[in-house]
Amino acid sequence: MCGIIGYIGDRDASTILVQGLKRLEYRGYDSAGVATFTEGTIPVRRCLGKLENLERLLRDDPIEGKVGIGHTRWATHGRPSEENAHPHRAGKVVVIHNGIIENYLELRAHLGKLGRKFTSETDTEVISHLIEEAVLSGRDIVAATREAIAQLEGSFSIVVMHQDDPETLVAAKSATPIVIGLGEGENFIASDIPAILDHTRRVLFLEDGEMAVVRRDGVTLTTFAGEPVSREPRVVSWDPVTAQKGGYRHFLLKEIHEQPQAIIDTMRGRLLQEEGDVSLDELAGCEWATNAKRITFVACGTAWHACQVGKYFVEQIARIPSDVDYGSEFRYRDPVIEDGTVVVVVSQSGETADTLAAIEAARERGAKVIAICNVVDSSIARRADAVIYTHAGPEISVASTKAFTTQLTVLYLLGLFLARRRGVVDAEAAAPLIADLVNLPSHVEECLRRERAIEKIAKKYGDARGFLYLGRGINYPIALEGALKLKEISYIHAEGYAAGEMKHGPIALITEQVPVVVLLPKDAVYGKSLSNMKEVESRGGRIIAVTDSPSAELEDIAWEIIQVPTTNPCLLPVLLTIPMQLLAYYIAVYRGTDVDQPRNLAKSVTVE
């Protein structure tokens, strides 16, 4: 999986391909390659590692051509290597692929009996051989691709070239994204919009089960069965400049600092302060949402942590019973979906494969689905019954920051929206809750002003062999998120726990080499959390306390104190998140890791 780019036109293809792949680097990858039509052949250039290695290879051994495809790979089948990098060739057919072919072993065995020889460990190479077999039996490249994909099981987006048809690129989609960019005398194919924004804003999104035949003078869409598809292009409004670092050392730090504005953008047009209400036009007319008897949240990774907080919002504010499930587990446990259940799925990219599968499982059982995501017209957005966009803007760093806090913002809005529609909260009671949300961006700014102090703490504890994060109630998911951020980008083992669970096992891990980050707001369980801290302190633990209420008693126990502003308990998770992000960032910088593209991770997890 990862980055796909294709070009057909009159410009130098390899330049456009590499440029497009650079726009997709945020997804993470371990190898890269390109192929172009050149004087009746299709030379391929591939390399292990970063795109700078591919650029060096192309300088030493250039390829020319006006039509080509490129790919950045994140290993799923076969180790990262030049042999396993895309594009893959079988005879005159060259293919790039995102996704996983679940039945590739059976297909590989079948092709082996036909005398086919494989040069890689990948599932992708099977596709190229299937297409080549169909071509040799008399099919043109379009029909051959159609015949090949009928044999595939799993998720895939592919782009195909054939040496005898230099004026055609063929793309096909099932479960992983493909977008077609429309130009004048040239056209583009990509796995994500940023790859083509420098060249066009007119795009067509392929839906599952669709193919595109792309030529210089136009694009033809059909289903896998060959039935014509008619679809009007969309115009994308994103500005490529927003994908630049803007003077920050890393995209991650830039995106941490963008959070006040991102929260403002997420709130904009949705607050009716004078009426003490929230407006979510996306749910207008959706009585099934306001009448929900239960809400099931489904997500993966950081978005799952957001859902854990969202459960508190919906139960405490709207008084609707709620539960939270992993996208990767939801459909496999054969969930019971009762009448009146609404499933809320959360995803930054809108392409998360496990969450997409959960949508299908929910809808098969009769549930309505609300999606919360950041990417307009993403697969999840298109499949849901209603979608609420976070408006966080492009998030380039693999580790999520502003996407997470804007997800929390939308979930808070959703809780208020449902509470008002159900009559659980009246205008008078809602007014201060809305006022606190209006003040949230300035409170986040205040948290960011603690940056230098947090950087010093990071350097002090950056050599630790492990971290524990503790929180209670609504802030327990923030402890989980803080631990996830640290392990993602610094590679330090970190675990989050409910503070009350320390005495049931994790306290055995306490040493001077394992700092403990404690989220300690002045809430209903403040005293109990303080007692948990004393348990840690008495065993030699070094405590980093994050609180909105410093005290002399706390100063006696904690080695470090990070203060955040005070707000209502439902919004404190947002403020407690900011120090978690900064601490993880500066520890990663101290340790010299690849902050924006940490090892083994990808931005959009489009495979199971």
Residues marked active site are found at 2, 603
Range list of β-strands (E), 449-520 = 466-471, 493-498, 516-519
The one-letter amino acid code at 588 reads: A
The CA-to-CA distance between both ends of the chain, in Å, stands at 11
Return phi, psi of residue 216, to 5°.
-60, -40
Nearest CA to 176 among 387, 395, 350, 29?
350
Residue with tokens 């693999």, as numbered in its chain: 398
Long-range contacts of 53-59 (CB under 8 A, 24+ apart): 54/18, 54/21, 55/18, 58/14, 58/18, 58/34
Contact call for residues 84 and 75 (beta carbons, < 8 A): yes
The tokens describing 221, both together, are: 């869409």
The tokens describing 91, both together, are: 């005879």
Nearest CA to 182 among 163, 197, 201?
201
Torsion over CA: 82, 593, 397, 249 (sign): negative
Contact call for residues 70 and 34 (beta carbons, < 8 A): yes
Q: What angle do CA 335, 384, 170 make, to 5 degrees?
A: 110
Angstrom distance (rounded) from CA 97 to CA 129: 13
Contact call for residues 297 and 346 (beta carbons, < 8 A): yes
Integer-rounded Cα Rg, in Å, for the chain is 25
Torsion over CA: 382, 384, 386, 392 (sign): negative
> If DSSP codes are grouped into helix, strand and coil, which group holds residue 590?
helix
Angstrom distance (rounded) from CA 378 to CA 335: 25
Residues 6+ apart with CB under 8 A from 476: 308, 496, 497, 498, 499
Return phi, psi of residue 510, to 5°.
-70, 120
